[in-house]
C-alpha cells in the first residue's frame, strides 16, 4: 500500500507540473520543424538549435525537480535536467567542439533521457492513464541515441532528418502526455 501511495504522490507532482512537459514538447516540435523545413542549415547551426532545445528542456526539468527534492523522482528529474543543461551549454562555452563529439554527447543525452522517461512512466503507471506515451517518448529517445552512435559519420542531411523526426515525434508525445496529466490533475482537483 505504501508503494502505491508513493506512485500516487509522484503522479500528482507530475500533474501539477504538466506545463513543464508541455513546454518541453513545444520546444521539441519547434526545433524539429526548424530542422525539417530548413534542411539547408549546416550542422553547426543545427548544433546550436539542439543546444537551445536541450538547455530549455533541462531548465524546465530542473525547475520541476527543485520543488520535489525530498524523493527519488525529484532527484531523477534534477539529474535529467542537469544533463540537458550541460548538453545545451557546452556548445556555447566550447564553440570549437567538433561535430562528432557533440553528436556523441547528443546520443548520450538522448539515451539517458529515454531511460529516465521510462522510469518516470513506471512510477505513474498505476495512477495516470496513457503512461505509455511517456514510455514511447523514452523509447524514441533511446532509439534516437543509438542511431546516432551506430551512424556517427552519416551524411549530414541524414543526421538532420533523423534529428528532425525524433524531435517532432518526441514533442508531440510529450505534449499529449502533458495534456493527459493536466486532465487527470483537474479530475483530482489538483490544479
pLDDT in tens, 131-149: 788 888 899 999 989 988 8
Q: pLDDT-based confidence at 4, cuts 50/70/90?
A: low
Sign of the CA dihedral running 119, 81, 22, 160? negative
pTM of the model: 0.65
Burial of 21 (0-12, 13-18, 19+ CB in 10 A): buried
- pLDDT tens digits for 17-53? 889 889 989 988 998 898 888 766 656 677 777 788 8
pLDDT of the residue at 41: 62
| Nearest of 124, 142, 137, 144 to residue 175 by alpha carbon | 137
Tell me what the mean pLDDT of segment 54-59 comes to.
90
CB of 112 closer than 8 Å to CB of 119: no
| Nearest of 35, 28, 26, 52 to residue 158 by alpha carbon | 35
Three-class secondary structure of residue 130 per DSSP? coil
Q: What's the helix, strand, coil split of the chain in %, to 5? A: 85, 0, 15
pLDDT of the residue at 153: 63
pLDDT at residue 124 greater than cutoff 70 = yes
Burial of 159 (0-12, 13-18, 19+ CB in 10 A): buried
Q: What's the 3-state SS for 56-123? A: HHHHHHHHHHHCCCCCHHHHHHHHHHHHHHHHHHHHHHCCCCCHHHHHHHHHHHHHHHHHHHHHHHHH
- pLDDT tens digits for 67-121? 778 777 788 888 889 988 988 888 888 876 666 777 787 888 889 989 988 988 8
Distance, in Å, from the CA atom of 20 to the CA atom of 57, rounded to the nearest integer, reads: 8
Amino acid at each position: 500500500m505504501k508503494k502505491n501511495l508513493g506512485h500516487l504522490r509522484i503522479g500528482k507532482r507530475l500533474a501539477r507540473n504538466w506545463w513543464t512537459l508541455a513546454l518541453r514538447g513545444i520546444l521539441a516540435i519547434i526545433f524539429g520543424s526548424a530542422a525539417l523545413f530548413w534542411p539547408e542549415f549546416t550542422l553547426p547551426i543545427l548544433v546550436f538549435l539542439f543546444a537551445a532545445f536541450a538547455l530549455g528542456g533541462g531548465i524546465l526539468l530542473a525547475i520541476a525537480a527543485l520543488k520535489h527534492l525530498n524523493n527519488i523522482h525529484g532527484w531523477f528529474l534534477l539529474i535529467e535536467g542537469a544533463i540537458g543543461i550541460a548538453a545545451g551549454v557546452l556548445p556555447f562555452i566550447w564553440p570549437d567542439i567538433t561535430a562528432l563529439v557533440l553528436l556523441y554527447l547528443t546520443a548520450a543525452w538522448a539515451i539517458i533521457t529515454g531511460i529516465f522517461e521510462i522510469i518516470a512512466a513506471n512510477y505513474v503507471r498505476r495512477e495516470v492513464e496513457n503512461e505509455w506515451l511517456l514510455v514511447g517518448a523514452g523509447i524514441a529517445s533511446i532509439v534516437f541515441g543509438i542511431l546516432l552512435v551506430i551512424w556517427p559519420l552519416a551524411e549530414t542531411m541524414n543526421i538532420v532528418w533523423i534529428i528532425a523526426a525524433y524531435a517532432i515525434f518526441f514533442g508531440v508525445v510529450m505534449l499529449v502526455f502533458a495534456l493527459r496529466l493536466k486532465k487527470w490533475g483537474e479530475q483530482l482537483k489538483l490544479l
